[in-house]
């Protein structure tokens, strides 16, 4: 389903060129990823472009993901030589730690330098991982548009932070082809691919299948199901009946049920869920 979608628009190519053109102007790249899908939300194109440039990886939405997995992934990325921080950019949790980390990095950079310079930073990531929310927390004002739909940020923006560091915002960038079909699914589950080009009901069934396998207790508890049904379709129908998503003629409203399941997963209402565990690598 995901593999057949043509979703790589022209502005993605422009964003890649924007990152390449401005990389030499910055001291560090802040890569924002979704803590629920730490692998699928890391664009391999960004990895290729950034190369050996100093990098800080922010595991955003860590309030929606499994606490133990957050710790494991933070350790994993740190061991690879990255600065790493788990955050909740919507609430501001982790911002103080972020500023302390950047301050230490600036001091390290200016050590033994006669002319002290403020850090210049670039923020990158796939759509809808929370880059704009992070920027607004770092600037102390609404400098960037936010939304739960991918593709809100347009063009490049140089912004001044409260500590006089400079930050370059870039639009979210996806990549032309997924090597692993699961990558497309996970990005779609988390809202990084526009729902308008997806079959919502099929996507919700795929999500139910994953949750039945990995988090059956949370799924059952959220929708008061008792034992989870044998198939995703049976589970969806049971959820629809529990929630009253029934059309005239006692027909199940599959579209409304699918939309509810996706929205509640993305909002963390089903529970703290990490779809990609370090142990599965």
- Helix crossing, 200-214 with 216-223: angle to 10°? 120
Decide which of 152 and 226 is more confident: 226
Per-residue model confidence (pLDDT) at position 9: 52
Mean pLDDT of 199-223: 95
Contact status, residue 87 vs residue 123, Cβ threshold 8 Å: no
Mean pLDDT of 170-176: 75
Per-residue pLDDT tens digits for 51-78 = 889 999 999 999 999 999 999 999 999 9
Tell me the Ramachandran region of residue 209: left when phi exceeds 0, alpha when psi lies from -120 to 50, beta otherwise: alpha
Per-residue model confidence (pLDDT) at position 101: 94
Residue 262: pLDDT above 60? yes
Residue 2: pLDDT above 70? no
Decide which of 56 and 227 is more confident: 56
Per-residue model confidence (pLDDT) at position 263: 97
Per-residue model confidence (pLDDT) at position 146: 45
Q: Which residues of 200-231 are buried (b: 16+ CB within 10 A; e: fewer)?
A: bbebbbbbbebbbeebeebbbebbeeeebbee
Alpha-carbon torsion, ordered 54, 182, 35, 218, to 10 deg:
-170
Per-residue pLDDT tens digits for 121-156 = 999 888 889 998 999 888 876 655 444 444 444 456
Per-residue model confidence (pLDDT) at position 143: 53
Per-residue pLDDT tens digits for 5-43 = 444 555 667 777 888 888 888 999 999 999 999 999 998
Contact status, residue 59 vs residue 74, Cβ threshold 8 Å: yes
pLDDT-derived band at 120 (thresholds 50, 70, 90) equals: very high
Per-residue pLDDT tens digits for 78-114 = 999 999 999 999 999 999 999 999 999 999 988 888 8
């Amino acid at each position: 389903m995901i593999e057949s979608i043509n979703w790589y628009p022209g502005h993605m190519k422009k964003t890649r060129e924007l990152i390449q053109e401005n990389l030499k102007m910055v001291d560090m790249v802040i890569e924002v990823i979704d803590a629920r899908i730490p692998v699928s939300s890391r664009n391999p194109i960004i990895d290729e472009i950034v190369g050996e440039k100093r990098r800080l990886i922010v595991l955003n939405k860590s309030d929606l993901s499994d606490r133990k997995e957050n710790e494991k992934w933070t350790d994993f990325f740190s061991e690879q030589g990255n600065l790493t921080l788990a955050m909740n950019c919507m609430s501001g949790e982790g911002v103080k730690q972020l500023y302390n980390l950047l301050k230490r990095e600036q001091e390290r950079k200016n050590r033994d330098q006669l002319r002290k310079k403020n850090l210049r930073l670039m923020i990158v990531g796939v759509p809808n991982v929370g880059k704009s929310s992070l920027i607004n927390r770092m600037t102390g004002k609404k400098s960037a548009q936010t939304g739960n739909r991918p593709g809100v940020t347009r063009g490049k923006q140089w912004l001044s932070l409260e500590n006089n560091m400079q930050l370059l915002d870039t639009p979210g960038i996806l990549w032309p082809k997924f090597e692993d079909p699961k990558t497309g699914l996970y990005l779609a589950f988390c809202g990084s691919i526009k729902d308008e080009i997806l079959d919502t009901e099929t996507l919700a069934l795929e999500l139910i299948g994953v949750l039945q396998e990995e988090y059956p207790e949370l799924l059952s508890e959220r929708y008061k199901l008792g034992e989870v049904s044998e198939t995703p379709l049976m589970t969806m129908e049971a959820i629809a009946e529990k929630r009253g998503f029934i059309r005239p003629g006692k027909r199940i409203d599959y579209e409304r049920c699918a939309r509810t399941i996706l929205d509640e997963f993305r909002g963390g209402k089903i529970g703290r869920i990490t779809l990609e565990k370090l142990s599965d690598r």
